[in-house]
Structure formats: structure tokens, C-alpha cells
Amino acid sequence: MRVIGITGGVGCGKTTIINLIKEHLNNKKDVKFSILMTDEISRNLLQPEQKAYIQVVELFGESIVNEDKTIHRGKLAEIIFQNPNKRMVLNSIIHPLVKQEVINTINNLRITGNDYVFIESALLYDDHYEVFCDETWYIYAPKEQRIQRLKSSRSYSQDKIESIMKSQLTEQEFRNKCDVVIYNDKTCDDVRQQLVKLL
């Protein structure tokens, strides 16, 4: 089984790459693969009754809880972006739980005989997922292109984009650490061709 880590800065198009991988491998009947998206796992762990939920509500208070008992992600984001210390505490709760979930899933998939496991994470190196990856892929797109994507697709402000980008690895750091660079600055067909060669 091959474990591949996929990373890159905000707005580089990691979700697009994941969708193209799915599209390509779903057409191959003899290939078994799984995709683990750390943001998705994190969201699941913050659902009521899940591991991170109780600790986070205790820490941040009932003001972040919706009527249906789910966590209001917008309110939580607002708090942690205003207070770096609270962000560090939140990360210290969630990140180890996400990582353990990823490790457990990989171990289970080794038993069932998967061909590929893809781990998508902006924090691939910050949280040391590379330790259990056979290969890591960096998704590259120029900064200006990423900014435009984030403004149009997520309605992020310039300040929010700059704040997120500053908290992430630089392009050079990603390039130095990763085994493969995928260029996501042209068309989907161009990216698709790169992925077909890699897979």
C-alpha cells in the first residue's frame, strides 16, 4: 500500500487535485484507494458526542454552541483568529486526535489491502504526517492566483488571506520538503496529465 501526503498553501487547489485523483482512480476497477482529508476528520471530531467536542465547549464556552448543539464554526474561528493563544490551545486538542484517527485508519486499510491512501492536509509537515507517508506532493499555484481563488470561491478578505498565508509554510519550504511538485496554475487537463503520470 502506498501512502501519499498532499499539501500546499491555502487556495492552491488541494480539493481540485483530490477530485481529479478520485475521477482517475474510480475508472480503474482493480485499484482500491482511500482519501483522508484532515479538515473533514477535524469537523467530525467536533460534532456533538465526539472526542474533541466536550473539551472545546468547556474551553470556549456555550456561546460557540448552536441551538442544535453543534459548534458554530464561524464564532469559533473569530475567537481563535483574534487570540493566538486560544488557537494554540484549540490546535493542541484537535491536532493529536486527528492524527490518531489518520493513523488508525491507515493501519486498518493495510489489513484490508488498499493500493493507495491519500492524506490531504495543509499542516502535513507541521503535524509530521510525512513520517508515515511514502511520498509527499506539493500543490503549487502562484500567490496572486490563490488570492483571487479565495476571494471568489470563499469570499475571504485580503486581511484574512494574508493572515492565513503568514501562518503557513512558504513556497520554498514546501518545495524543499516535498518529493513531488504538482503545478495547478493552468487547466484541469494539465493537472490531470500530471496526475496520470504520477499514478
- Integer angstrom CA distances of residue 151 from 4, 38, 80, 98, 193: 29, 23, 21, 28, 27
pLDDT at res. 84: 84
Q: How does pLDDT run across 108-125, given as a tens digit for each residue? A: 999 998 999 999 999 999
pLDDT at res. 158: 93
Q: Is pLDDT of 160 > 90?
A: no
Distance CA 165, CA 185 (A): 18
pLDDT at res. 133: 97
- The residues, ordered by sequence, that sit 6+ positions from 52 with a Cβ below 8 Å of its Cβ are 42, 45, 46, 93, 94, 97
Q: How does pLDDT run across 7-27, given as a tens digit for each residue? A: 999 999 999 999 999 999 999
Under 8 Å between Cβ of 90 and 80:
yes
pTM: 0.91
